[in-house]
């Protein structure tokens, strides 16, 4: 019995295996992003550096919508308790995004003042802002552990 090897089939199999490994590694990388409340993210700002992370907080009234670098952008202030952080979100905001409704954002700290900051009421204006590109609004609070609640803005929790 003579067996012939098909190099095309072997290459196809290797390609499929490589694609599966890539997808798994990419998924694990996204899952390993750390998740912080605004107060923790501000406290750990120097340690976080330019690493990406997830942050949860409550958007304050006074959103500024516009464009930044040809892309839709929203500038707003996020809070939890008495801690504020200015945010520049690139891309369209989540459909249910509105002030007063907790939101989960994914991005990184950037040094400097965000654009249109002067138009925000009660901005943090501390020389830093979160530049985010992924937003999830949850009304059912499933994104927090059981019993965890955000402190209302303007209070120490």
Closest CA to 96 of 144, 151, 53, 135: 135
Q: Does this model's pTM top 0.85?
A: no
**pLDDT digit string, tens, across residues 91-119:** 999 989 999 999 999 999 999 998 877 78
34-137 homologous superfamily: Nucleic acid-binding proteins (2.40.50.140)
User: Which pLDDT value is given to residue 144?
Assistant: 47
Mean pLDDT of the chain: 83
Question: How long a stretch of residues is the chain?
Answer: 157
Among 126, 112, 117, which Cα is nearest to 83's? 126
DSSP H or E run through 73: strand 71-80
Domain residue spans in the chain?
34-137
């Amino acid at each position: 019995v003579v067996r012939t090897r098909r190099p095309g089939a072997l290459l196809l199999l290797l390609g499929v295996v490589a694609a599966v490994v890539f997808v798994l590694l990419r998924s694990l990388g996204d899952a390993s992003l750390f998740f912080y409340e605004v107060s923790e993210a501000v406290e750990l700002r120097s340690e976080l550096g330019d690493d990406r992370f997830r942050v949860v907080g409550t958007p304050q009234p006074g959103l500024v919508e516009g464009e930044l670098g040809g892309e839709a952008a929203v500038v707003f202030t996020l809070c939890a308790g008495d801690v504020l952080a200015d945010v520049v979100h690139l891309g369209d905001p989540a459909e249910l995004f509105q002030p007063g409704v907790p939101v989960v954002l994914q991005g990184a700290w950037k040094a400097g003042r965000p654009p249109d900051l002067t138009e925000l009421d009660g901005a943090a204006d501390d020389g830093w802002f979160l530049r985010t590109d992924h937003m999830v609004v949850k009304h059912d609070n499933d994104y927090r552990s059981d019993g965890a609640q955000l402190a209302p803005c303007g209070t120490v929790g």
